[in-house]
């Protein structure tokens, strides 16, 4: 535990900010999913779209060149690696989308299922991942193992919202 804190304090200031923002957003998503009824938070999924409109739901993702996108993806990879037992992929997806929306990027939240046919119990696994164009932002490291069943788009904002007088 102390090792993680030392590594956190050694991070550059911008990385600390991004990681702290990701942790705060994921904690809010945890609260929303665990405490608030689904009927109240389902609008945060976004606008449902056809899977045909979603780019690269079952293909390899390209490396991210944009520094802001790369930082968001890095922060969620760290959270998933260190706190994966506490936060689900859907919580990380909500957090990533909030961070992308704040940076005026659109995103697609993809929900997928996987059938585990090992042994006698045929378990159904579920996973969520967030993509921006052909870039994996959160949870998409293994989309080949899952079949996409639903996608929700958040277009972000191309420009900052105008302030009304």
The region of weakest confidence among 47-51, 107-111, 125-129, 160-164 is: 160-164
Any domain includes 165:
no
Which range of residues forms the domain containing residue 110?
A: 2-154
pTM summary value:
0.80
Q: Does residue 162 sit within a domain?
A: no
Q: For the ranges 16-25, 74-83, 142-151, which has the lowest average pLDDT? A: 142-151
- Contact criterion met (CB below 8 Å) for 147 and 114: yes
6: part of which helix (H) or strand (E)?
helix 2-9
Q: How many domains does the chain have?
A: 1
Residue 48, in any domain of the structure: yes
Q: pLDDT at residue 117 above 80? A: no
């Amino acid at each position: 535990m102390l090792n993680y804190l030392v590594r956190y304090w050694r991070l550059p200031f911008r990385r600390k900010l991004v990681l702290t923002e990701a942790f705060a957003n994921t904690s809010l998503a945890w609260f929303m999913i665990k405490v608030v009824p689904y009927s109240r938070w389902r609008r945060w999924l976004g606008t449902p779209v056809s899977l045909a409109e979603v780019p690269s739901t079952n293909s390899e993702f390209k490396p991210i060149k944009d520094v802001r996108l790369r930082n968001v993806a890095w922060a969620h990879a760290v959270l998933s690696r260190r706190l994966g037992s506490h936060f689900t992929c859907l919580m990380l997806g909500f957090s990533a989308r909030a961070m992308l929306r704040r940076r005026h990027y659109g995103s697609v939240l993809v929900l997928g299922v996987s059938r585990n046919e090992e042994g006698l119990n045929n378990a159904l696994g579920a996973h969520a991942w967030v993509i921006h164009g052909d870039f994996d932002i959160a949870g998409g490291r293994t989309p080949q193992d899952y079949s996409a069943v639903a996608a929700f788009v958040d277009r972000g904002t191309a420009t900052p919202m105008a302030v009304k007088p």
